[in-house]
Structures are given as C-alpha cells and as structure tokens.
Amino acid sequence: MSTTTQLPAGTAVHPDSLELVHETVPAEAVASGSPTTGLYPLGSFAGVDLGVWEMTEGGMYDTEADEVFLVLSGSATVDFLARDGSVESTAELVPHTLMRLAAGTRTRWTVTRPLRKVYLTA
C-alpha cells in the first residue's frame, strides 16, 4: 500500500497513470477468483479523504464507508446485500460512472475488467 501523499494546491495528477501497490484480498472477503486491491491515498480536502483505488478481476465482499467515487476504467457489478446475504439491488460500473455508498452497507464486488476509481470518503 502506498503512503499518503498530500496533493498540493495547484498540482495536477493523472490518476490513471499512478502506480498502485496491490495486496491480496483476505480469504474471508473473497467471493470468487483471486482478486487484489491497490490504493493510492492523495490526502484530504475539507475533511474528506481522497485517493485512487483499484481492484483486479474477481469478487470480494466489503462493508462500505461513506464514499463518493468516479470510475476511471474497467467494469464491475456491485451487489447490495440484505442482512440474510440476498441481493437487494445491483449497480453496473463502467468508466464515468459516479456512485455514492453509505457507511455500513454490505456489498459484493465482481470485477470483470480491472476497475480503477477516484474516491472521496468521510
């Protein structure tokens, strides 16, 4: 995982060219395949953390934080899970998808092409 870099005012970065260090998803969170995730924190702005996150092909379960993100590349589905594990709804993610997640929401991510997003999280 990358250390946090504070993005100075007036600085431009190209989030699709940042090198992210990937880690294996813990076995208890794997839904399918052998996914890895990478993170490139860019610091904070007005009390909100921002950065770039990526996941390789495969599936994983997660419990979400309050977050807004914009997909840069790749494709995936996010299943929103009920307490019993059943799927309540599904969102399709492709480049330029903007999505909001709520803290505590249980999800299952299934990535079919490596997914990279820019996130803002509280």
**Is the whole-model pTM more than 0.95?**
no
Q: What is the pLDDT of residue 99?
A: 99
Q: What is the pLDDT along the chain (122 residues), one digit of tens a residue?
A: 445 568 888 889 999 999 999 999 999 999 999 999 999 999 998 889 999 999 999 999 999 999 999 999 999 999 999 999 999 999 999 999 999 999 999 999 999 999 999 999 98
| The two structure tokens encoding residue 101 | 């997640």
Domain ranges of the chain: 30-121
Q: Are 80 and 89 in contact (CB under 8 A)?
A: yes
Q: What is the pLDDT of residue 67?
A: 98
**What are 69's strand-pairing partners?**
99, 119
- The listed CATH number (2.60.40.10, 1.10.10.10, 2.60.120.10, 3.30.420.40) that belongs to domain 30-121: 2.60.120.10
